């Protein structure tokens, strides 16, 4: 069971939509989201699913139909539709990996989420240690969740994030961390700051 405070809502799925689910999901998406999903090809199911989960979650919190949720994700660098997702009245975050799609939302403070598979090659572990320092996959999902909560993502050097069990700091920002256990094969960190 996910262990999260009540003011944080999480929704997740394994990647994959059958044709009726895909039609339902596509009908929720904005033109910008549809073009983003087309551009990403291999990852398009996860992109579609992520937006579907996020729109459904936000719709429940805001009392809106998922299609009517005013979700934008404008990139701060180029203006493209692949930046931090924003919905007035909430803060939200999304993450996808090969085996999961996770969305979180809250009406209080700022939020970020990251999911990664627990298993991986030695090369992957070495690459993660290179950018995040020692500490393994939990440390890496914590760093990414904080960077997504911050909103700059990997424009910030991941080594600037100081992580301890249950909390993190980046510049003046203090973050609380949670590790909801969604499945045995996944590491998830949710980062939140007031």
Ligand X SMILES: CC(C)(COP(=O)(O)OP(=O)(O)OC[C@H]1O[C@@H](n2cnc3c(N)ncnc32)[C@H](O)[C@@H]1OP(=O)(O)O)[C@@H](O)C(=O)NCCC(=O)NCCS
- At closest approach, how far in Å is the CB of 105 from Zn ion? 23
Helix (H) or strand (E) holding 5: none
DSSP 144-184: HHHHHHHS-GGGS-GGG-EEETTEEEETTEEEEEE-----T
- b/e string for 78-115 if b means 16 or more Cβ within 10 A? eeebbbbbebeebbbbbbbbebbbbbbbbeeebbbbbb
> What does the per-residue mask of binding to ligand X show for 49-68, with x meaning CB under 6 A?
-x------------------
Stretch that binds Zn ion, among 2-10, 16-24, 80-88, 176-184 (CB under 5 A): 80-88
Stated length of the chain: 194
- At closest approach, how far in Å is the CB of 64 from ligand X? 19
The residue from 77, 123, 157, 184 that contacts Zn ion (CB under 5 A) is 77
Indicate the residue among 6 and 78 with the shorter CB distance to ligand X. Answer: 78
- Give, as ranges, the residues between 15 and 44 that touch ligand X (CB under 6 A): none
> What does the per-residue mask of binding to ligand X show for 107-146, with x meaning CB under 6 A?
-------x-----------------------------x--
The residue from 1, 3, 42, 78 that contacts Zn ion (CB under 5 A) is 78
* Residue 125's binding partner out of Zn ion, ligand X, none, with CB under 5 to 8 Å set by partner kind: none
Q: Which residue's CB comes closest to ligand X?
A: 153
The long-range contacts involving 149-156, CB below 8 angstroms and separated by at least 24 positions, are 149/93, 149/110, 149/111, 149/112, 149/175, 149/191, 149/192, 149/193, 150/110, 150/112, 151/76, 151/84, 151/110, 152/76, 153/84, 155/77
Contact residues for Zn ion, defined by CB under 5 A: 75, 77-78, 80
Binding site for ligand X (CB under 6 A): 47, 50, 73, 75, 77-78, 82-85, 93-96, 114, 144, 147-148, 151-155
């Amino acid at each position: 069971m996910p262990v999260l405070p009540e003011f944080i809502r999480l929704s997740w799925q394994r990647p994959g939509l059958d044709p009726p689910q895909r039609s339902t999901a596509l009908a929720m998406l904005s033109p910008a989201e549809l073009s983003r999903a087309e551009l990403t090809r291999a990852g398009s199911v996860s992109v579609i699913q992520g937006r579907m989960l996020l729109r459904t979650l936000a719709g429940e919190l805001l009392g809106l139909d998922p299609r009517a949720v005013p979700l934008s994700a404008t990139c701060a660098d180029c203006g493209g539709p692949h930046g931090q997702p924003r919905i007035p009245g909430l803060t939200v975050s999304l993450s996808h990996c090969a085996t999961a799609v996770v969305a979180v939302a809250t009406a209080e403070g700022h939020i970020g989420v990251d999911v990664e598979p627990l298993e991986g090659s030695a090369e992957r572990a070495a690459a993660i240690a290179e950018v995040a320092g020692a500490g393994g996959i939990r440390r890496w999902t914590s760093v990414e969740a904080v960077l997504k909560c911050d909103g700059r993502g990997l424009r910030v050097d991941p080594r600037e994030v100081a992580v301890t069990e249950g909390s993190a700091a980046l510049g003046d920002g203090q973050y609380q961390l949670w590790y909801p256990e969604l499945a045995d094969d996944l590491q998830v960190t949710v980062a939140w700051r007031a």
